[in-house]
Structure 1
């Protein structure tokens, strides 16, 4: 499990855009170890979404976020 968490942390903090590195990397650093398996899987799926789409999710209230990600995206934005 430790290797899996390290891979997620690396992917979260090496996105390609500085904004996503900061948002996702800092969230991962603070929360990965305490997240349940379901949320870890959702976070892993979020990491596969292109940065421009994620940026829209995080920067605009008018964007429709797929329902299965809504709670986790809100948590990331806290």
Structure 2
């Protein structure tokens, strides 16, 4: 059974706000609220894959402590842009 777009977005929103660390809850929830509806199906699939990554790695990618894997670079730039003001002053 394939998941329809609406169901997928609802699931991704929930996974965005139920993370392992509070900082990621804030960052990914803000991104999900602002951007998920406008993402292409391919970008939703990529975001779904990103959500399987370790929270500490994602946080380090956002903060620049670790290099972002090539496949996530554009997506992580979008997430970082939305996180401005969520966890650090604008």
Query: Could you state the TM-score of these two structures normalised by the residue count of structure 2?
Result: 0.81
Q: Are 1:36 and 2:40 counterparts?
A: yes
Matches within 5 A, 1:42-61: 42-60=46-64
Name whichever structure is richer in helix by fraction: 1
Shift of 1:64: 1.6
Q: Structure 1 stretches of 5 or more lacking a match? A: none
In the alignment, does 2:5 pair up with 1:10? no
Please tell me the root mean square deviation across aligned C-alpha atoms, in Å: 1.0
- List structure 1 runs of 4+ shifted beyond 3 angstroms: none
**SS of the residue aligned with 1:57?**
helix
Q: Which runs of 5+ in 2 are unaligned?
A: 82-90
CA drift of 1:58 comes to 0.8
**Pair member with larger Rg:** 2
